[in-house]
Structure 1
């Protein structure tokens, strides 16, 4: 049985986008069999839980237990004992290339623009014109593979938790709208006052129920609250959010990880609001049941791969010119 290791310690969204790669590896070695181990961040490990195609998930805590070169070396030594045949390294940072080398695997595959590329045995082209999922799938050669759907696996525990929320708030039969106002980067965040204006419009519709989702940072936001709005920010795990996405009708989100969680569920309609970033960067919603709202009249977009802490031009037109009325009308159009 072939022993394969994936090293990917990027953002949560990147990890979710790698789930078709996992399926493609399994499909390639379906006859001889393979075991797949995935090394990722603690957050990445939590969102990959219950994936039936993974034999082991190892959390690489580069800011905690595995901090510094000593932590990297000890993790590499642990991985070396496992005797991997092949290591796939989509993360283009030096630390990941070093970790791949420390495993001692005879075959180490990464992108041709990766830092520490000399530590790889095979380099594949990093094609900027492709979506991130397509880039990741290029690591594995298999002509017959067609299952490129993102895959997340909420457990019975997550399902029971969301069941309780459904019952407590009488959500059965309602049109469920998820709102995700967060992002790590300022220029990826649609203004909070715009989200609140949208909430006020949605709250008066008796057939709608709005669920606010996000992490602990988002739980500090001053969001508009009403009896028809359920605030779950800071109260859910990533797989809880996945289960909410599985049941929801629409999600309104910035360019952040909820886009990619939502893309794993075909029923959910995604309305994604893009400011600093664009389609060409490769991280648009992978789901066909999606639409992107953006200001295409600006020549300053994109202003960075991950956005930034402030608008370089000082006007922030990419977000400010996408008004709440536009998003509300899109929701109405979809339901009608």
Structure 2
């Protein structure tokens, strides 16, 4: 059985698809699974034992434009896949599925180009994203999260890198808190001055802080001080996963660290939701998680991905979540642990 997964969405979406790999192996233990994703998506999937091959779909490079899409489709067609699962709902992914000429091509009924699939499944907005994705292999009644966890696999290189960072900063016996202040969307970012207030409170109480993020987050004016280790732009995604595996708690916006941290049972997640809501299905899959949000705010949600500015101009969904509240919530969670 040769199975192809096509998913070229954001990092968090790719992470949330990993339970599907376990489900496929339950049904087809000998299956060879190929995963087509973005170059950055490929980095988070590396070392996954359920995958036979990862193919990078570089829409801005080797596979740009219609010609690039057709060339990739031609390559995939030669593989003679028995089944293609298209988790992404954009037209390019639907066309790529069709170009494989696989006899079974499954995708969402709401996808652009859904007519190119041989079978369409219901995109149920009321389900968590993991549950939606698992439905590609049939419904699972009373789905227990622990049976289909998010799984990431930092390798020897990633572990050694974080071992060195932990040793240099004497973090081995410390309760370490990770803070992820970034997001692609402005309105999904809790204010930086709020993050800095929380960092001050934690440092004053002898907690060690690790700041995580990509190169884009280097432009965020986070206060770096004693007991704050700034790793923005210095780590790969699997190194971030290894960091989050070792931390007691991660404080994050509604962004990919939520989903990366969900791979680890001992890591607590405190997620701040502003313009988005849990009902979109992208809340933490981990059971050791809490979401802070402003309840009963009539303008929430305003967009599924957030935006570049508050449509109402007041930004209450974020400004009304005060640093003192977040700090107290962090202490409550750590005391429970």
So what's the TM-score if we normalise by structure 1?
A: 0.97
Task: Report how far residue 154 of structure 1 moved.
Answer: 0.2
Q: Deviations along 1:11-69, whole A, 9 cap, x unmatched?
A: 00000000001110111012xx2100000001110000000000000010111111110
Tell me the distance in 2 between the aligned counterparts of 1:335 and 1:71.
Answer: 50
Q: Deviations along 1:195-240, whole A, 9 cap, x unmatched?
A: 111111111122x100000000101222111111000000011000
Q: 1:307 aligns to what?
A: 306
Is 1:76 paired with 2:86?
no
Tell me the distance in 2 between the aligned counterparts of 1:277 and 1:301.
Answer: 7
Task: Report how far residue 335 of structure 1 moved.
Answer: 2.2
Q: 1:45 aligns to what?
A: 42
Sort the Cα spacing of 1:306 and 1:222 in 2 relative to 1 into closer, same or farther, 3 A.
same
1:28–1:142 Cα contact (<8 Å) kept:
no
Q: 1:298 aligns to what?
A: 297
Task: Report how far residue 111 of structure 1 moved.
Answer: 0.5
Q: Deviations along 1:275-304, whole A, 9 cap, x unmatched?
A: 000011000011010000000130111101
Tell me the distance in 1 between the aligned counterparts of 2:215 and 2:160.
Answer: 22
Q: Secondary structure at the match of 2:44?
A: helix
Q: Deviations along 1:225-274, whole A, 9 cap, x unmatched?
A: 11110000000110000001111100000000000001111100100000
1:131-210 superposed matches below 5 A: 131-141=128-138, 147-206=147-206, 208-210=207-209
Q: Deviations along 1:172-202, whole A, 9 cap, x unmatched?
A: 2111100000000011000011111111111
Tell me the distance in 2 between the aligned counterparts of 1:59 and 1:222.
Answer: 33
1:171–1:209 Cα contact (<8 Å) kept:
yes
- Quick one: which of 115, 121, 126 aligns to 1:124? 121
Q: 1:60 aligns to what?
A: 57
Is 1:5 paired with 2:4?
yes
Q: Deviations along 1:96-131, whole A, 9 cap, x unmatched?
A: 010001111010000011111111000000000000
1:245–1:268 Cα contact (<8 Å) kept:
yes
Q: 2:221 aligns to what?
A: 222
Tell me the distance in 1 between the aligned counterparts of 2:140 and 2:31.
Answer: 19
Q: Which runs of 4+ in 1 moved over 2 A?
A: 141-147
Q: Secondary structure at the match of 2:303?
A: coil
User: 144-153 vs 15-24, which deviates more?
Assistant: 144-153
Task: Report how far residue 143 of structure 1 moved.
Answer: 5.1
Task: Report how far residue 141 of structure 1 moved.
Answer: 2.4
Q: Deviations along 1:300-323, whole A, 9 cap, x unmatched?
A: 111011000000000000000001
Sort the Cα spacing of 1:274 and 1:142 in 2 relative to 1 into closer, same or farther, 3 A.
closer
Tell me the distance in 1 between the aligned counterparts of 2:117 and 2:334.
Answer: 50
Q: 1:324 aligns to what?
A: 323
So what's the TM-score if we normalise by structure 2?
A: 0.97
User: 249-258 vs 196-205, which deviates more?
Assistant: 196-205
Q: 1:334 aligns to what?
A: 333
1:72–1:99 Cα contact (<8 Å) kept:
yes
When the two structures are aligned, how many residues end up with a matched partner?
A: 332
Q: 1:101 aligns to what?
A: 98
